[in-house]
Amino acid sequence: MAETSRKTVTIAKRRFELRRDRIERALRETLPEPITSHYVVIGRRRYPPKQAIGLVTGLDRADFTTHQARRILTGLGFPAGRRSRPPSPEPVAHPARRGAQAMRTRPTAETLEPFVGQWVATKEGEVLVAAPEPSAVVGWLAEHRRQADSMFRVPSDELEAGGLTPW
């Protein structure tokens, strides 16, 4: 199906005129919920497709399937994917366990690139959530009852990463 910036769709016997720019605007201030399997990338963040469609249409998520939501969003040009299994963990010293090794995977630079300048919480090499403020990340973790391996701000440039510029 050809990509378009506007699409008329029928979901739960209701017609909606969906526009790419309006979806991006609607989700700009919304943190993504945890990804269980499928996701769409909107504004450089991964969202569950049902969260995105539910938010922009106001429909109950039981009224449509993940695949239907994903098909609609990819038709509007949003990239989609499926969560991959994390790679095998490599031993990393865990500060809370003196002398012991904790099995934990670090996120790659490629994984962190979309979150430059933001605070992130990571687990098993994946970014769980990213937000401009650390309090938003902590709030998201608490709301979704998730624990992270680490939380940090992704540096904006090499000088910042080396601790040579304040942020």
Domain ranges (residues) in the chain: 6-82, 90-161
Cα–Cα distance measured from residue 68 to residue 42, given in angstroms and rounded to the nearest whole number: 17
The mean predicted confidence, pLDDT, of the chain is: 83
* Segments of 12-165 assigned E as strands: 14-19, 38-42, 45-47, 80-82, 90-93, 101-104, 119-123, 126-131, 150-153
Bridge partners of residue 126, in order along the sequence: 123
Which has more confidence, 69 or 126?
A: 69
CA distances from 160 to 116, 153, 166 (A): 11, 10, 7
pLDDT at 68 over 60: yes
What pLDDT, on a 0 to 100 scale, did the predictor assign at position 90? Answer: 46
Quick: pLDDT tens for 126-155: 888 888 899 999 999 999 999 999 999 988
- Nearest 5 degrees, angle CA 20-CA 23-CA 28? 125
Are 130 and 118 in contact, with CB atoms under 8 Å apart? yes
pTM greater than the 0.75 cutoff: no
**Confidence tier at 64 by pLDDT (50, 70, 90):** very high
What pLDDT, on a 0 to 100 scale, did the predictor assign at position 126? Answer: 84
Quick: pLDDT tens for 40-63: 999 888 999 999 999 999 999 999
Are 48 and 36 in contact, with CB atoms under 8 Å apart? yes
Quick: pLDDT tens for 85-121: 644 444 455 555 544 445 567 888 888 888 888 899 9
